[in-house]
Structure 1
Amino acid sequence: MQKERWGDCVWIGVDIGTTGVRAIAYQPDGQKLSSAEVLYPLDTPHPDWAEQNPAQIYNAVESVVKDTADALRYKGKILAGVALSTVMHSFAAMDADKNFLTNMMTWADSRSSDIVKTMKLDAELCNRFYQKTCCPVHACYPMTKILWLRKHHPDLFGRMSYVSSIKDYVFEHFTGEWVVDKSVASSSGLYNAANLQWDTDILQYLGITETALPQVVATTYHQAILPTAAQRMHLPNGIPIVIGATDGVLVNVGIGAVQQGQLSATIGTSGALRMLTAVPKVDPKGRTWCYNLTDDMWVAGGAINNGGIVMRWMRDKVCHYGSAQMENLDVDAYDLMTMKAGRVAAGSDGLLLLPFFTGERAPYWNSDLRGMFFGLSLNHGRSHMIRAAMEGVCYSLNSVLLALRDFGDVQDIRVSGSFTKSPLWLQIMADVFGETLTLPDNSEGAAFGAAVLGFISTGIIHSIEDTASLIQPKKIYTPQVENAAVYAKLYDIYDRLYWNVQQEFSDLVAYQKTI
């Protein structure tokens, strides 16, 4: 299709995240035409719980799609379709009538950590499941959440007829068809990456059958929208809804990290490093995961639990920068924190933060962890703690980068997420990694990635590799040699510290659970 006609091929990419949903209308060249966003809460009623009301999320999805569609209509643009991106690892139990028996447990929910600990006593079992699914055994995955439900609520488990995620729930309400994409399936801990089917061995271990799970379809699969849903969202009748993929794998597409040797580095609420691969890959040390993107493309990587959520904790609990206070000063709290951290030298004068506030996923896959400042002395103040938090999150991601280097040479790292608003944090990452970072001109990776799958589904774009030429660098960050040397020395201490306090972490977490 000629570029002059691209304006007639507008798709809305819907990015359903942990704390909010965003809808953005794109042309195939990446030009953004309109957008809308709605936030929703993450409920933590008990320690280790992190759940949400799926109906509340769905209502937010309809709201942003309607507002984006209305804006397009005002501009005289014709909408071609809607494509979905969702968070990974969500799980909710449904009864025979598809009424929810539980809230939607999110990736951050670690209530099954004790079950995981017991499973890990059988190393052969855990390795077998990892080899099958490319998902390390961890509390973030729906597989362990189902085990928790069976153990602690056998009455609800007995009534559970269907296993649901936020993706299949939204797609069914859009189209009337209950299916799930390969990307969500492959990030569940229930899906065999080799034969591309729900794994019967694991389902038997859980005590469920394949009838409880939706049919798995390609990430470019689409169905026409239901007339009632189209009416509510002011969409054209019969418009295609592409099921899409997960936000994690779509970030690479959205920021153009689609060639061999290219990685995406993201820090939002959490954080992740990801690289594309033609086949499913497992790490001999079990440090990484691998999820599906398209029929012939996979994404290997590792996600950390604690990214921007650490800075939010610093803002609220350490700095006490309340919203009303910041509004009176007409200053953004994070800008103020960045300014204060910028006055501290690289390495925070020897202060380290192990940022494991909510346990950790890659590369340790250990829920028995908590945050720890190490090296505090009387000369350290809030500014040191802020910078140490930024550095600690980058140390955590660096441990994932070391694992991914075993899969191939790193030639380009592209960044996305809310942390890209902080030039200081970007420079710290470049220095910690010892690698050049590229900040793309498109920072809304998952939403554009979803739209790309829409374009591919209708032949407007031929493959995800075509996005490489659409995303241009906005700024390049190169490592500062002196700072990189400081961080290399401190990362070595950070890594040894983690391994030397394993029992203390475990004992402390056990005590916290008694409170």
Structure 2
Amino acid sequence: MSNMDNHDVFLSIDVGTTSVKFGVIQTHEIIWEKAIQLATYTEENAARFQLRSEILEVVFRGIREIPSALRKKIKMIGFSVAMHSCFPFDKDHQERVFLWSDAQASEAIEAFKQTEKATAFYLKTGTPIHPMTPFAKIMHFQKTQEFSPETKWYGLKELLLHMFTGRHLIDFSTASATGLFNLLERCWDQEILNYLGINETQLGKLVDTTATFNIQRKTAVELGLSEDVKILAGASDGCLATYAGYKTTGIPHSLTVGTSAALRKISHKPVLDFKQQNFCYYLQEDMYVVGAPSNNGGNVLEWAAQLFSDKPEDFFEQLETIGKRSPLGANGIRFFPYVFGERAPFWDMTMQASFKNLTATHRKEDIIRGIAEGIIMNLRLLKCMLNPVQIVTINGGFFQNIFLKQLTADILDVECLLTDKNEPIYGLYALVAATPKPQHNTEKITRPNVKQSIAYQKLAETYFED
């Protein structure tokens, strides 16, 4: 059931780990958009976080930059957030919002993996056992006693919805990436909470992704919004990106390669595999997003640019020219791309990158092509977790490069459709607006080169063997 007329004006706000994106949508098209960078802070203890006050300041600033007349027409605001955030809240001045990349819980989670409860908790939640999760972070903080026993364990979604509705709310989709949410019963799991020594009153109130609420009057006035604006609970960014691609193209599989990477699919039932630990997150009634994330995507190319280019900013544009100077297989070089540890299918933060078969005869272009091939060979492992896959929607800065786009199609042996609507801001809108019949332009599909693809499938059989 649609909650909005197609002519109504909708504001999507996507709070990611690097920026906040704003999209004003009417009749399925963005009529105003903006992105504002967010600062991230690190500490020597592997802490990685953003600041509550800065997040809210950026959100408010972005809304105020929408032209006043258009702002007044907004009927609904929806929120997408990055998964796995943890905001310990015990005082009004508490500031740190820990991100998925925060690794403070690494030691605690490695010990927990050795227990029988690790399997049981994964199968209850659909959330991999990894330091990225709020489950892991809370377990770590309970052991260090850094926060008081009365601490509320919120995240980005609760922070935002409290500011706009006056209540600490969290949607089922975002909650299902915490490691605390029972996927089938759609509630905070009592056994897991007992294990952590916390209770439901210390967590946000659970609501469905399509739930809507009245905006706080003081917030509406402060931002120059209509006091009749409804606030949509929304979902998490990865789920919404996949949903957007599915609703606009009809393709259930999506591949995102930005800083990190993830391959996902829409499923109408939960799918779980403890051995490889795919994630399985709720999106809406009878719809789940199943997939696998990698720590290593565009960030590995940025690392390579710093090493191999006098002008790192030009490296990406020159990649096609450089890559084509080396043959398929990079003259034997194999690159294990774990510069930033790894999530699926290994779930090992200590994994390290390495080159294999590197000799004095290799040139710079061999190494660079080897790095590109290694990144995508690793994505092929994610694809194997979701087989069968014939066609995927693709998005992220990685695919703005023609060479990388074709290389991805060849190594994964899938058709790739680049779509600018494979974004969380469209996914939010699709949750509440009646969308047109899915369709896609076949002329925009990048198809595997048969000869190249066959060679890569042969190479893949032994690529990651020691």
- Which bracket does the TM-score occupy, shorter chain normalised? over 0.9
- Which residue of structure 2 lines up, in the alignment, with residue 484 of structure 1? 453
Residue 427 of structure 2 is matched in structure 1 by 449
| Aligned residue type for 2:213 | Q
CA distance in 1, matches of 2:69, 2:320: 35
C-alpha distance in structure 2 between counterparts of 1:470 and 1:25, whole Å = 22
Letter in 1 for 2:207: V
Work out the CA distance in 2 between the residues paired with 1:386 and 1:333.
10
Q: TM-score, normalised by structure 1?
A: 0.84
Rate the CA distance shift 1:227–1:403 in 2: closer, same or farther, 3 A. Answer: same
Is the partner of 2:41 in helix, strand or coil?
Answer: coil
1:87 to 82, 97, 102: 82
Aligned match of 1:19: 18
Counterpart selection for 2:377 from 374, 395, 399: 395
Shift of 1:446: 1.0
Identity %: 29
Task: Identify the residue that residue 410 of structure 2 maps to in structure 1.
Answer: 431
Cα 1:312–1:192 shift into 2, 3 Å: same
**What's the CA shift for 1:170?**
1.0
Q: How far did 1:286 drift?
A: 3.5
Q: Report the Cα offset of residue 493 of structure 1.
A: 2.8
Query: Does the C-alpha gap of structure 1 residues 259 and 280 become closer, same or farther in structure 2, counting only changes over 3 Å?
Result: farther
- Provide the rounded CA distance (Å) in 2 between the counterparts of 1:390 and 1:70: 46
Deviation at 1:474, TM superposition (A): 6.3
Counterpart check, 1:228 vs 2:218: yes
Q: Pick closer, same or farther for the CA change 1:471–1:292 going to 2, 3 Å.
A: farther
CA gap of 1:26–1:444, structure 2 versus 1, over 3 A, is: farther
CA distance in 2, matches of 1:130, 1:426: 34
Unaligned runs of 5+ in 1: 327-331, 498-515
Contact 1:354–1:392 (Cα < 8 Å) also in 2: yes
Equivalent-residue separation in structure 2 for 1:126 and 1:234 (angstroms) = 48
Q: Deviations over 1:133-157 (max 9, x none)?
A: 11121111110111111223x1x33
| Cα displacement (A) at 1:342 | 3.6
1:52 match? 50
Take 1:241 and 1:492, find their aligned partners in 2: how far apart are those partners? Answer: 50
Task: Note the C-alpha offset of 1:223.
Answer: 1.4
Question: CA separation in 1, counterparts of 2:177 and 2:348?
Answer: 18
Secondary structure, aligned partner of 2:426: helix
Q: Are 1:346 and 2:323 matched, yes or no?
A: no
Give the corresponding residue for 1:40. Answer: 38
Aligned partners of 1:311 and 1:211: how far apart in 2? 44
- The answer on 1:383 being equivalent to 2:373 is no
Q: Do residues 357 (structure 1) and 339 (structure 2) align?
A: yes
Q: Distance in 2 between matches of 1:261 and 1:82?
A: 26
Amino acid at match of 1:256: Y
**Scaled by the length of structure 2, what TM-score is found?**
0.93
- Structure 1 partner of 2:444: 475
Alignment-derived partner of residue 356 in structure 2: 374
Alignment of 1:99-118 (within 5 A): 99-100=93-94, 103-118=96-111
- Residue 261 of structure 1 and its aligned partner are, at CA, apart by 6.8
CA contact (8 A) 2:319 2:403 kept: no
- Distance in 2, Cα, partners of 1:58 & 1:297: 31
Taking a change above 3 Å as real, the CA distance of residues 488 and 236 of structure 1, as seen in their structure-2 partners, is same
CA deviation map 1:247-277 (0-9, x unaligned):
0001112223688872001101111111111
Supply the distance in 2 between the matched residues of 1:274 and 1:136 (Cα, whole angstroms): 14
The answer as to whether partners of 2:246 and 2:266 remain within 8 angstroms in 1 is: no
Distance 2:421 2:176 in 1: 25
Counterpart Cα distance in 1 of 2:193 and 2:240: 28
Question: Residues 177 and 472 from structure 1, CA distance in 2 versus in 1: closer, same or farther, beyond 3 angstroms?
Answer: farther
Q: Classify the secondary structure of the residue corresponding to 1:80.
A: strand
The Cα offsets for residues 228-257 of structure 1, whole Å up to 9 and x where unpaired, read as 322343322231111210000011122236
Partner in structure 2 of residue 178 of structure 1: 168
How far, CA to CA, are the matches of 1:414 and 1:311 in structure 2?
21
Cα displacement string for residues 346-375 of structure 1 (whole angstroms, at most 9, x for unaligned residues): 222222222212221111111121222222
Check the 8 A contact 2:124/2:183 in 1, yes or no: yes
Give the stretch that moved more between structures: 345-354 or 176-185. 345-354
Closer, same or farther: CA 479–87 of 1 in aligned 2, 3 Å: same
Structure 1 window deviating more from structure 2 (334-343 vs 476-485): it is 334-343
Range that drifts further, 81-90 or 345-354: 345-354
Q: Would you say 1:134 and 2:126 are equivalent positions?
A: yes
Secondary structure of the residue aligned to 1:158 is coil
- Secondary structure of the 2:100 match is coil
Q: Following TM superposition, by how much is the alpha carbon of 1:487 offset from its aligned partner in structure 2, in angstroms?
A: 2.1
| Aligned-pair CA distance for 1:343 | 3.2
Aligned to 1:202: 192
Tell me if the contact between 2:41 and 2:48 (Cα under 8 Å) persists in the aligned partners: yes
Specify the SS of the correspondent of 1:104: strand
Structure with more helix by fraction: 1
| Inter-partner Cα distance in structure 2 for 1:104 and 1:380 | 45
Structure 1 residue 109: Cα displacement: 1.5
- Is 2:117 aligned against 1:125? yes
Whether the 8 Å CA contact 1:230–1:237 is kept in 2: the answer is yes
* Equivalent position amino acid for 2:137 in 1: K
Using a 3 Å threshold, how does the CA distance of structure 1 residues 281 and 359 change in structure 2: closer, same or farther? same
Q: Which residue pairs with 2:292 in the alignment?
A: 302
Using the alignment, how far apart are the partners of 2:409 and 2:329 within structure 1?
14
CA separation in 2, counterparts of 1:381 and 1:257? Answer: 45
Quote how far apart the aligned CAs of 1:165 are: 0.5
> 1:9 — aligned with what?
8
